[in-house]
Amino acid sequence: MEDFILVAYFISIFILFAFGSHFFIMLYYYNKYKNVKPKVDGELKEFPMVTIQLPIYNEIYVVRRLLDSVCKIDYPKEKLEVQVLDDSTDETVDEVARICAEKRALGYDFVHLHRTNRQGYKAGALKEGLAVAKGEFIAIFDADFIPQPDFLKKTLPHFNKPNVGMVQTRWEHLNGDYSVITKAQALALDAHFVLEQSVRNNAGLFIAFNGTGGIWRKKCIIDAGNWQADTLTEDLDLSYRAQLKGWKFVFLKDVTSPAELPSEINSLKAQQYRWTKGYIETAKKMLPEVWKSNLPLKLKLLCTLHLTSNFVFPFILLSGILNVPLVYIKQSGTHDDYFAFMSIFVLAFIGSFLFYLYSQKDIHEKDWKKRIYLFPIFLSGSMGLAFNNAKAVIEGLLNKRTEFVRTPKFSLVDKNDSWKNKKYAKTKVSYAVIFEFLLALYCLFGIGMSLYYLEISAVPFQLMFFVGFGFISVMSIKNLLVSKKEKSK
């Protein structure tokens, strides 16, 4: 049994280290291309027809904010069509109908496309809207976004190059300082956009359309096979199909699209589950196409790292579980060479820290030091989400079909705002929450055991696992009870 545990732990840590090496690759490219910015081939001299698609599903709290913000975009009315792709099943339908009528009376071309089924979910709605879209270019914003007035004038000039198929902007956070949950998410998303998206784009690697805050050439979408609903990340899927067809993407780090982050833990878990499983589904679908293509070997390898990055979660979970029996095994004193060798893998942690550090320094020059203090909290949260996301990985590998569960939006921007008296919040306890709570107790036992045997070096990571699983499970249960109580009033 000891040998089995040691081998399993080695495999887990080695895989985490292998994926962690991706951070060093990104840091290398970041330093190489940090002064490179996307070049605009001329200015916007003509105003092409643009369709703005707004896919929504039961968004009563944010839909007016979204539609009002679209009307503030600086662009000729006669060259702008707004499609509200409404799959709602509640009073949002009537609210959208009223707002669209108001906007049409003001001279805006608002089209309310309400479906009575959710066939294909978001991908299905986008595809049906595209079939009747008037625009040569298609901008997409989710319900929790507020488009900037200059969005079109800053993105459209990049399409002067005929091979550019999509332009993605960086997400900004309306409620990044709302709570510790949103602060940790902001840290993670900043790193994704500032380092991963920007660096990959500058280095000529594949990037992803992030599902919102971007604009497509309609011809590119159709040429790549249109929207498809066989994965939960239709945006990533289409991105790879388009780039394999030879279309080029542009990422604009300095052009932002503000959005609201999930402020309630169960909403965040649903979002992370969908993203994680969708990545696995897309990897299974697109990696064979990547390796059959004529892409250079380096690009194929980096595409593989990109699409399979979420495979880390089952091994994060496994390493956390194995940490406890390893303390017992270490007491035997017969595996000192093994444990000395395993210390090398701490380099992955260093790479991860530097990855998030540089992203904060890049866009938060004044207060990046204050923000990077959140890194241990973010890391603990990632560990706490390991069970939730590992489940998504396994179900993706097993081809288990699940519903597209959208992330509820509550219009929480100011710290005085609250989701507690609003609908859409989850009210049922799942078995996953129970497992997360039991894992927290298990890790607490591991901390006590490490202190008893004076294995102090094991305590920090066990403590982060305990804090992560404890916070995720307790907050999940607490929020479920609060939501259930409010709905019963």
Could you read off the pLDDT of 351-410 as tens digits, one per residue? 888 899 999 988 887 888 888 888 888 889 999 999 999 999 999 999 988 877 777 777
Residue with tokens 């609210």: 95
Distance CA 257, CA 252 (A): 10
Do 18 and 76 fall within a single domain?
no
Three-class DSSP category at 66: helix
Do 208 and 350 fall within a single domain?
no
Residue at 387 is within a domain: yes
87 is catalytic: yes
Number of continuous H segments (helices) and E segments (strands) in the chain: 19, 7
Distance CA 159, CA 164 (A): 6
Pairing relationship of beta strands 80-86 and 50-56 according to DSSP bridges? parallel
List phi, psi (to 5°) of 301: -65, -40
Do 23 and 134 fall within a single domain?
no
- The 10 Å Cβ neighbour count of residue 334 is 10
Q: Give the count of domains, the chain.
A: 2
DSSP states of 77-129:
GGGEEEEEEE---STHHHHHHHHHHHHHHTT-EEEEEE-SS-TTHHHHHHHHH
pLDDT for 329: 85
Do 243 and 326 fall within a single domain?
no
- The H or E element containing residue 200 is helix 198-202
Strand partners, 114: 86
Nearest to 206 by CA among 165, 248, 265, 253: 248
Give the distance, in angstroms, between the CA of residue 461 and the centroid of all CA atoms in the same chain: 25
Do 134 and 229 fall within a single domain?
yes
Do 116 and 238 fall within a single domain?
yes
- Choose the final residue of a domain: 209, 244, 264: 264
What region does 282 belong to: left with phi over 0, alpha with psi -120 to 50, or beta?
alpha
Q: In terms of DSSP H, where are the helices of 293-311?
A: 297-307
41 is catalytic: no
Residue at 396 is within a domain: yes
Nearest to 251 by CA among 209, 190, 310, 217: 209
Distance CA 413, CA 48 (A): 34
Residue at 286 is within a domain: no
List phi, psi (to 5°) of 416: -85, -15
Pairing relationship of beta strands 214-217 and 164-173 according to DSSP bridges? antiparallel
Do 228 and 105 fall within a single domain?
yes
Residue at 418 is within a domain: no
- Choose the final residue of a domain: 228, 249, 264: 264
**CA Rg, the chain, in Å?**
23
Do 186 and 239 fall within a single domain?
yes
Q: What percent of the chain has pLDDT over 90?
A: 65
Residue at 302 is within a domain: no
CA distances from 354 to 2, 26, 360 (A): 34, 10, 10
Do 461 and 351 fall within a single domain?
yes
pLDDT for 294: 95
Do 92 and 225 fall within a single domain?
yes
pLDDT for 488: 56
> Which entry of 142, 144, 190, 235 is annotated as an active-site residue?
235
Distance CA 382, CA 390 (A): 11
CA angle in degrees (0–180, nearest 5) for 392-353-195:
75
CA distances from 296 to 285, 290, 303, 304, 396 (A): 20, 10, 11, 13, 28
State which residues form the domain around 245. Answer: 47-264
CATH number at residue 166: 3.90.550.10
Distance CA 173, CA 195 (A): 17
Distance CA 315, CA 337 (A): 23
Dig out the tokens for 199 from the structure.
């660096």
Residue at 37 is within a domain: no
Cα atoms in the Cβ-side hemisphere of radius 13 Å centred on 282: 27
Do 21 and 75 fall within a single domain?
no
> Which entry of 87, 144, 190, 362 is annotated as an active-site residue?
87
Distance CA 293, CA 300 (A): 9
Distance CA 129, CA 135 (A): 11
Residue type present at position 230:
D
Dig out the tokens for 139 from the structure.
């901008």
Over residues 216-256, the pLDDT tens digits come to 999 999 999 999 999 999 999 999 999 999 999 999 999 99
Residue at 413 is within a domain: no
pTM > 0.85: yes or no = yes
Residues of the chain with confidence (pLDDT) below 70: 415, 420, 425-429, 482-489
DSSP label at residue 37: -
Nearest to 196 by CA among 65, 82, 60, 309: 309
Residue at 298 is within a domain: no
pLDDT for 423: 78
- Choose the final residue of a domain: 264, 294, 320: 264
pLDDT for 115: 95
Nearest to 226 by CA among 242, 211, 214: 242
Do 10 and 107 fall within a single domain?
no
| C-beta of residue 263 within 8 angstroms of C-beta of residue 182 | yes
Maximum CA extent, the chain: 80
Buried b / exposed e over 421-440, threshold 16 CB at 10 Å, is ebebbbeeeeebbeebbebb
